[in-house]
Structure 1
Amino acid sequence: MTDNSYKNKTAVTVKKITAAGRVTQRDVVVRETAVTLYLNDTELVTLVCSPTNLQELCYGFLFAEGIITEPGDVAGFSISASDGLVWVETREPAPAGANFLRRHVASCCGRSRASFYFINDADIEPVASNLRISPAAITALRGETERRAVLFAATGGAHGAALSDGNDILAFFEDVGRHNTVDKLAGWCLLQGIPARDKILFFSGRVSSEIVIKTARMGVPVIVSRSAPTDLALELAEQLGITVVGFARENRMNVYTRCERII
């Protein structure tokens, strides 16, 4: 995978203040840009993101929203990076676009339980997987993802996400938006023809319900994060058959759901 992390950061002048005094020097900050996605000539959404791997981001976003399911669903893709514009044409009409971000409320037969916020998410099936992984393997792979996080190391302002088969890191992306990193992974899997099922998502940020839903649509059974989950994320993860591991740092971790996969 090409290292284009230099495009994701820029130099600025800062005044550093310490107990010893203040000094003017150059520093590096992460770049943030807005990309507007047009679906079949209709403006769909503006994504705030890092300005690299935009094809993976857009494919992954459309996949996560249930608008496309495979690369063949896309008839045309063009991008103007300088203008922050992306155009996607689908081979068939995309009715999901009409429901984009419409709220979905389910009664769940009168029982109090977590439900999906948006109509496009309501068709997601629970993840079925026999994947098992040891804490030692998680620790080793998590360390490898951190070594690849060169943008975070330079700026302190980026999230990272990696996909692993339990032995190696297959892909890794950084972005200013934590959800964008997962979309880029999903888009990469589509474009490379690599199934995400029976894989592990290593993630730097908070595990929210949105991250769980994106992971479930990919079919990934395990999320490992160095941060915390939310309560709704854990309710959804339990329903969707996803193992959530949080606070995975050094040689410790918390397993919140579907603990049987961590052997």
Structure 2
Amino acid sequence: MPTFEDEEPLAFDAVQLPRRADAPRLNQVRGTLLRRIEIVDQHGERRDIDIPAERPLTVFVDKRELVTLMTLGAAPGLLVLGYLLNQDLIRHASDVESIDVDWSVDAAAVKTHRGIDGLAEKTARRVVTTGCGQGTVFGDAMAQIGAVQLPTSQSARIAQDTLLRILELMKSRNSVHRQAGSVHGCALFSGTEMLVFVEDVGRHNAIDSIAGWMAVHGIDGGDKVFYTTGRLTSEMVMKSAHMGVPIIVSRNGVTAMGHELAGKLGMTLFGRAAGRHFLCYCGFERFDADPMPCAPAQALAAD
């Protein structure tokens, strides 16, 4: 039986769905995911290991330089499209005619149908975000709260057995992180079915790639669950809400601002979620809990 190390890890994996007729043309040129280097370990032994091949991707919109994203390059066209959508620089995927990625010059050329109104004004204010990849948000993300429309708790819910199955599926994936570490993974679920999985050097890139995939295929987020290995900051919560996904599961924790924003939007956040353990931070009304009996103190100490 092959081991994970014998297989090529999948940093992008998605179910096959038809594209929207008005979706932009994307040349999905995947970058090289891993680079092999020599290391010396704590025993003084030399050996070869794989590390993620981070690279810059400079985005040009209608020949104007916009931003440089540091990325693994697993789904660059979707990443750029999702970035434009989540930054509210475009409203619909159909606003874009094409996205061409050329790794020989580390650039992505975006061609829109009618340009982006007020692009200079929209990009004048930059906020450097937290953590991996040092993301950038243009404008005031908090100002978008009033425009977000999420489904009610009656139509968008998650049961505890569904949550535990999602955690089990994520643990079993053959991933770049399992083989080489140093990346974040995000996924979109419909029930217990994984629709799309993306890994990148930053959680921001991974969620943007999922947003791009949803837009290309016309996927509604109202009945979906978003999973991430990264912590739930205000930006991650806002992006999930912008995608219409009201339920987020994270292997990590949540910041105070992320928690406050999710509460205002009526979202459900799960954190510290791994194995059969989790914390539901807010949005309890969307959660159909099935509490497990408390383990004896001795068992808890051994866990």
TM-score range, shorter chain: 0.7 to 0.9
In structure 2, give the amino acid aligned to 1:150.
Answer: S
CA distance in 1, matches of 2:142, 2:254: 19
Match of 2:246 in 1: 221
1:194-233: CA deviation from partner (whole Å, max 9, x where unpaired): 2222210011011111101110110100000010000000
Residue of structure 1 aligned with 2:196, choices 156, 171, 185: 171
Match of 2:221 in 1: 196
1:227-246: CA deviation from partner (whole Å, max 9, x where unpaired): 00000001111112211110
1:34 matched to 2:34:
no
Match of 2:97 in 1: 75
Match of 1:118 in 2: 139
CA contact (8 A) 1:145 1:172 kept: no
| Cα shift at 1:121 | 5.4
Match of 1:262 in 2: 287
**TM-score w.r.t. length of structure 2:** 0.77
Q: Which one has the bigger helix percentage?
A: 1
1:240 matched to 2:240:
no
- Taking a change above 3 Å as real, the CA distance of residues 156 and 193 of structure 1, as seen in their structure-2 partners, is same
1:127 matched to 2:115:
no
CA distance in 2, matches of 1:125, 1:195: 14
1:210 matched to 2:235:
yes
| Cα shift at 1:96 | 5.1
1:37-87: CA deviation from partner (whole Å, max 9, x where unpaired): 011211111001112200010000001011223221102322212211011
Query: Which stretches of structure 1, 4 residues or more, deviate above 4 A after TM superposition?
Result: 2-6
Q: What is the correspondence of 1:93-172 to structure 2 with a 5 Å cutoff?
A: 93-95=115-117, 97-98=119-120, 99-100=122-123, 102=125, 118-119=139-140, 122-123=143-144, 124-129=147-152, 130-172=155-197
CA RMSD of aligned residues (A): 2.1
CA distance in 2, matches of 1:198, 1:97: 32
| Cα shift at 1:167 | 2.6
- Taking a change above 3 Å as real, the CA distance of residues 126 and 256 of structure 1, as seen in their structure-2 partners, is farther
CA distance in 2, matches of 1:51, 1:45: 15
Count of residue pairs the alignment pairs up: 248
1:64 matched to 2:86:
yes
Shifted more, 144-153 versus 208-217: the winner is 144-153
- Percent sequence identity is 29
CA contact (8 A) 1:132 1:261 kept: yes
1:185 matched to 2:210:
yes
Unpaired runs of at least 5, structure 2? 1-7, 12-30, 128-136, 289-303
- Taking a change above 3 Å as real, the CA distance of residues 82 and 117 of structure 1, as seen in their structure-2 partners, is closer
Unpaired runs of at least 5, structure 1? 105-115
CA distance in 1, matches of 2:283, 2:124: 29
- Taking a change above 3 Å as real, the CA distance of residues 96 and 127 of structure 1, as seen in their structure-2 partners, is farther
Match of 2:34 in 1: 9
CA contact (8 A) 2:9 2:174 kept: no
- Taking a change above 3 Å as real, the CA distance of residues 140 and 101 of structure 1, as seen in their structure-2 partners, is farther
Match of 1:84 in 2: 106
- Taking a change above 3 Å as real, the CA distance of residues 239 and 117 of structure 1, as seen in their structure-2 partners, is farther
SS in 2 for 1:78: strand
1:120-144: CA deviation from partner (whole Å, max 9, x where unpaired): 6523424223211112211111221
CA contact (8 A) 1:44 1:97 kept: no
SS in 1 for 2:211: helix
| Cα shift at 1:179 | 0.8
In structure 2, give the amino acid aligned to 1:52.
Answer: A
1:45 matched to 2:67:
yes
**TM-score w.r.t. length of structure 1:** 0.88
In structure 2, give the amino acid aligned to 1:245.
Answer: F
